[in-house]
Chains A and B, each alone.
Chain A
Amino acid sequence: MAKTITQEFVKGLWDEIPPFRLVLGLCPTLAVTKSVENGLGMGVAVVFVLVCSNMLVSLLRNIIPSKVRIACFIIIIATFVIVVELVMQAYAYPLFLTLGIFIPLIVVNCIVLGRAEAFAYKNGVVRSIVDGFGIGIGFTISLVAIGALREVFGSGTFFGMSVFGPSFQPFTFMIEAPGAFVCLGLMLCMMNLAGNK
């Protein structure tokens, strides 16, 4: 019952989409989705880290002794996270300022470590890259979706552009932390409703 490469990619977009189906990586999901831009930036960073770490873990899976595998994964992941952090500082400084601590926190993101442990350590290089890419894109889509909902209702803008015009009274609850929980809960509920049919 081996999956095809396409199936490995597509599963990340719906069947195993991280925050909704796997319910992993909730900390950044809740914290950085105040706007679409933040969600997208975070998503792209995670895609890069996931693809690179999956590739390296998969390449080294026969060399890494199983007793210290977690330590090795963390070294690999941390390296790429710091690369992302430096590059973001150099080329997208405002984004770096708003994402702040959540970029270094990708190191302990369950999704990245989870894919390394559950997938890349047991599968070939190409499959691992595709898996990382799929899951990463899925994560990005989720962040952008939550970010869009929260930004449109919470501040009346989309990507910084006004949606409803100046008379709109922003529903600021949505960009506060509790709004993130409510929003995520409702979206999970919708996903489950749609999935149960």
Chain B
Amino acid sequence: MREIIKMIVVLTVLSAFSGGLLAAVRGGTMEKIEYQQLVFVKGPAIRSIFEGCSNDPIVDRFKIKDGDIERSFFVGVFDGKADTVTFESFGKGFGGDIGLMVGVNINDDKIIGMSVTTHSETPGIGSKAKTDPKFSNQFKGLSAVEPCKVKPDGGEIDAMSGATVTSKGVCVGVTEAGNIYKRLKPQIAEKIKEFK
């Protein structure tokens, strides 16, 4: 009996100590990790969308509350005017969620670029959504406020061969981004004025 109590006490104390230590480390590194993720995961995507912009979009960002979640918006300045934003949305792919960044021009509601950030698609097939510019460039110039579809579904996007599910998933993500944009446009237009 005494042995059992000792085991329970030791394991409990050890677990509690472990939990406390981890909470402390997590608290200490959280902000830093968030910044690193911005730079290394979303950074390249944001930069590729805002190619040729004159500011640092990772620094020029603002947040808008959308229901329960807070969304980050990154501002791109072209020719001295801040009228494009990039933000993240998700679509369902073959191997899980596909995260993508969509850039929208707020003057004419057109998509200026799309770039995949995180995914778990099949390497070499679905993963081309991230690496093949031929696929992602198709989204340029589409209207952000209309649903985005692949050609067989009556849309304008050529699906990647062998990766229909991924292509559709990306389209769903872009459509979702359009919905977010429609919902939050007044706030976006308000916030972006600060960067002009």
Contact = CB atoms under 8 A, between A and B. Distances in A.
Interface of A: 60, 63-65, 67-68, 71-72, 75-76, 78-79, 82-83, 86-87, 89-91, 93-94, 97
Contact of B39 (A87, A91, A93): A93
18 contacts: A65-B6, A65-B7, A67-B3, A68-B7, A68-B10, A75-B11, A79-B21, A82-B25, A83-B21, A86-B26, A86-B33, A87-B25, A87-B29, A90-B36, A93-B33, A93-B36, A93-B37, A97-B40
A99 to B, nearest CB: 14
Given A65-B6, A86-B29, A87-B25, A72 B37 contact: no
Contacts of B193: none
Q: What size tier do the contact residues of chain B reach?
A: 10 to 19
A157 B33 CA distance: 30
B32 interface: yes
Interface of B: 3, 6-7, 10-11, 14-15, 18, 21-22, 25-26, 29, 32-33, 36-37, 39-40
A70 to B, nearest CB: 11
A65 B3 contact: yes
A106 to B, nearest CB: 15
B41 to A, nearest CB: 8
A89 to B, nearest CB: 5
Contacts of B25: 82-83, 86-87
Given A86-B29, A86-B33, 5 more contacts: A60-B14, A72-B10, A75-B14, A76-B14, A87-B29
B10 A63 contact: yes
A61 to B, nearest CB: 12
Contacts of A64: 10
Given A65-B6, A72-B10, A93-B40, A82 B22 contact: yes
Contact of B10 (A65, A86, A93, A97): A65
A182 B147 CA distance: 52
A84 to B, nearest CB: 10
B21 A72 contact: no
